[in-house]
Structure 1
Amino acid sequence: MLDHTPSGLFKVFSVVKHWLDKIVSWFCISIITLMTILVTYQVIVRYVFNDPSAVSEVLSRYLFIWLVLFGSALVFGLKEHMAISFIKEKFSQKTQIIVEAFIELAIVTFALSIMIFGGYSSATRQMWQLDSALQIPMGTIYAAIPISGALMVFYFIYNELQLVERWKQLRSSAE
């Protein structure tokens, strides 16, 4: 049996992924914290002072959208997204790798076509339209779409490199 060591490219991607996971995790945690503060503030000013704040309501809504987009990218990178694993587990290990690669290819196709290209187009078109409550460009809010799509593409590349490493291990253990 041959000794298998991961490729240099996979090692580099692993280090980058480790730090990217931490950054995106902390970003999502910060969004949840800020949303909690904003919603608490909104409830207090609405029900105690009878003076609702439009800014906190709109900002918490946009933060929720960002949380979903960046959280989705992170979950994809951690391979914690929804999957029907009991079907995949019935296949051989090589077939499992092929099925995983196909599923990830479908996800990255969506990320590239809709999130990156479509999201970028939408964000740049909306850069001149201001949000009525926050007075910030809507393109800034829409920027989360192509950014999270780019994160998904990075995670796709990492996951594919990981599948290649698993494939190599299977081949070397068969020899």
Structure 2
Amino acid sequence: MEKLLVWTDKFKKIIDWVVERACIAIMAFLTVLVTYQVVTRYVFNSPSAVSEVLSRYMFVWLVLIGGAYVFGLREHMAITYVRDKFSPKIGILVDIFTEWTIAIFAFVVMWQGGFKASVRQMWQLDSALEVPMGVIYSALPIAGVLILVYFVINQLKLIHQFQQLSVKG
């Protein structure tokens, strides 16, 4: 189990690095895009439809990919009041159950549903960008896959923590 955890930590660091850079790039591009939109709207009195639509889509991508990243860090919003009332072992079991619930949602809604929606919308072009809507919708299955990868890594760590507590007590 120890070797597996070492390998998953290295693998997770690589994924984290890629996702962090993607979120930084999206945020930087979004900042430039919104600044451009403000300048064209208020300085030149000629708003850009392309930058408005693209910034909206980029924000959706940022939220979905960033949400998957935060899930991987296990820093997502959680109501721990109930979990904290239990012993540490039961608390870990509650965490495992919570992660399973999120993983099922990510698999069914984000990955399967998002993939189907992306494929269905590949023929329809966005009117402003002239990009297939399926490309825009593909943020859902990408984020879903990221959540599922992080889920496996998180589960291994939680199972290891549970085993460590079982050995101690």
Aligned to 1:48: 43
Q: State the AA in 2 paired with 1:94.
A: K
- Count residues with an aligned counterpart: 169
Which residue identity does 2:114 align to in structure 1? G
Which residue number in structure 2 is paired with residue 102 of structure 1? 97
Alignment match, 1:82: 77
Task: List alignment gaps of at least 5 residues for structure 2.
Answer: none
Gaps of 5+ in 1: 1-5
For residues 5 and 122 of structure 2, the distance between their equivalents in structure 1, rounded to whole angstroms, comes to 37
CA distance in 2, matches of 1:143, 1:21: 20
Instruction: Output the TM-score relative to the length of structure 1.
Output: 0.93
Q: Say which of 152, 156, 163 aligns to 1:157.
A: 152
What per-residue deviation string (whole Å, max 9, x for no partner) do you get for residues 60-96 of structure 1? 0000000010011001000111111233222101101
In structure 1, give the amino acid aligned to 2:106. A
SS for the counterpart of 1:80 is coil
Find the aligned partners of 2:8 and 2:142 in 1 and give their Cα distance: 18
1:82-136 deviations in whole A, cap 9, x for unaligned? 1112332221011011100110011001000000000000000101111111111
* 1:3 counterpart residue number: none
Shift of 1:172: 2.1
Q: What is the alpha-carbon distance in structure 1 between the residues aligned to residue 36 and residue 63 of structure 2? A: 22
The one-letter code matched in structure 1 to 2:23 is C
Q: Does 2:8 match 1:18?
A: no
What is the rounded CA distance, in whole Å, between the counterparts of 1:70 and 1:134 in structure 2?
Answer: 21
After the TM superposition, list the runs of 4 or more consecutive aligned residues in structure 1 that deviate by more than 3 angstroms.
Answer: none
- Deviation (angstroms), 1:17: 0.6
The root-mean-square deviation of aligned C-alpha atoms, in Å, is 1.0
* Aligned equivalents of 2:34, 2:154: Cα separation in 1: 36
Higher relative contact order (CA 8 A, sep 6+): 1
3-state SS in 1 of match to 2:122: helix
Q: Secondary structure at the match of 1:128?
A: coil
- TM-score, normalised relative to structure 2: 0.97
Matched, 1:134 2:104: no
In structure 2, give the amino acid aligned to 1:168.
Q
